[in-house]
């Protein structure tokens, strides 16, 4: 496993993180096996959100910690808040209430990081900063980040914060590459030149913000994995070939493709299958060549100008 320093926290996190959205469906014994498989593979980063399973995912995870409290200090636990029914909410009151609920469900006294979950169009920077300040002073949250924000939204928020934005969690996979496309197709009439992310990846690189790639093997929004999908026959052909070369699984190669991008990259996997977790961890040991990276990009249906 490889690790990267998370913002200015001084903590090192695994480049593969385990997303716990589907943990709500597990029994206690299964959750134990999932967390153990992650830790045995060198994964120390666990990503939650207050909406995952209506809070049930955090409660199931808490059961694992309750059985073995000493695990807490080995884990980097992140959760997210701000999504409400029919709206997004960055108000101070909502952030504070949400964190108290998260900590209660997780059975812990602190979050290593809190992300704001999708942008709130009514965001007031001073209100967010006040919430973050109160949480940090109380020791409830040690660092902060965002999800699904573009560079200008982060720049705007950062202008009113006394805290560094440590991470931006963004959808990114071989079948979802608009942030990369807009850079490759600069100043052309190709569809890929359409600016959808406003140089978000470059902004993250300039400011040492960790890019957390979610849905790393998904096509579309939540339309299923491209691994083994006949609509991505050429991509799977190249993935299979590289998987054989690196003695890994095709999904591990797809994760390695993301990790090869020279930002502070972190891949958030969502599987609750212990063997798939172990397979995914091997991506950290794969360093694709430039030729292989571009071959995968083209095989996914992208043309170079």
6 is catalytic: no
Q: Cα torsion for 171, 276, 298, 186, to the nearest 10°?
A: 20
CA 252 to chain centre: 16
Distances in Å between the Cα of 201 and the Cα atoms of 98, 136, 160, 283 are 29, 27, 21, 21
Check if the beta carbon of residue 195 is closer than 8 Å to that of residue 151. Answer: no
pLDDT of residue 47: 98
What is residue 68's three-state secondary structure? Answer: coil
Q: Which among 52, 203, 232, 246 is annotated as catalytic? A: 52
> How far is C-alpha 247 from the chain's CA centre?
25
pLDDT in tens, 175-233: 999 999 999 998 887 888 888 888 999 999 999 999 999 999 998 887 899 999 999 99
- Fold observed for domain 3-299: TIM Barrel (3.20.20)
The rounded distance, in Å, linking the Cα atoms of 115 and 78 is 7
What pLDDT is recorded for position 193?
A: 80
Q: State pLDDT tens for residues 10-27.
A: 899 999 999 999 999 999
Domain regions of the chain by residue span: 3-299
Give the bridge partners for 213, in sequence order: 170, 267
**Is there a contact between 142 and 111 (Cβ–Cβ < 8 Å)?**
yes
The neighbour count for residue 293, using CB atoms within 10 Å, is: 15
């Amino acid at each position: 496993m490889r690790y990267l320093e998370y913002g200015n926290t001084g903590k090192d996190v695994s480049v593969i993180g385990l997303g716990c959205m589907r943990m709500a469906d597990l029994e206690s014994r299964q959750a134990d096996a999932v967390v153990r498989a992650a830790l045995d593979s060198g994964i120390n980063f666990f990503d939650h959100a207050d909406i995952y399973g209506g809070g049930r995912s955090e409660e199931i995870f808490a059961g694992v910690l309750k059985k073995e409290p000493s695990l807490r200090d080995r884990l980097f636990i992140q959760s997210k808040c701000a999504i409400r029914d029919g709206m997004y909410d960055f108000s101070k009151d909502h952030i504070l209430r949400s964190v108290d609920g998260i900590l209660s469900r997780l059975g812990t006294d602190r979050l290593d990081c809190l992300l704001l979950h999708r942008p709130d169009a009514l965001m007031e920077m001073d209100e967010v900063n006040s919430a973050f300040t109160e949480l940090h002073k109380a020791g409830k949250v040690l660092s902060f980040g965002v999800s699904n924000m573009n560079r200008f939204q982060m720049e705007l928020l950062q202008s009113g914060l006394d805290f560094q934005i440590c991470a931006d969690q963004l959808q990114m996979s071989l079948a979802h590459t608009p942030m990369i496309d807009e850079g490759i197709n600069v100043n052309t009439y190709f569809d890929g030149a359409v600016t959808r992310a406003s140089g978000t990846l470059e902004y993250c690189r300039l400011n040492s913000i960790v890019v957390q790639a979610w849905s790393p093997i998904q096509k579309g929004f939540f339309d299923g994995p491209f691994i083994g999908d006949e609509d991505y026959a050429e991509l799977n052909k190249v993935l299979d070939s590289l998987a054989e070369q690196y003695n890994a699984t095709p999904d591990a190669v797809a994760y390695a493709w993301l990790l090869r991008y020279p930002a502070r990259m972190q891949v958030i996997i969502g599987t609750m299958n212990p063997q798939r977790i172990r397979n995914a961890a091997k991506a950290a040991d794969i360093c694709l060549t430039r030729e292989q990276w571009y071959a995968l990009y083209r095989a996914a249906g992208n043309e170079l100008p």
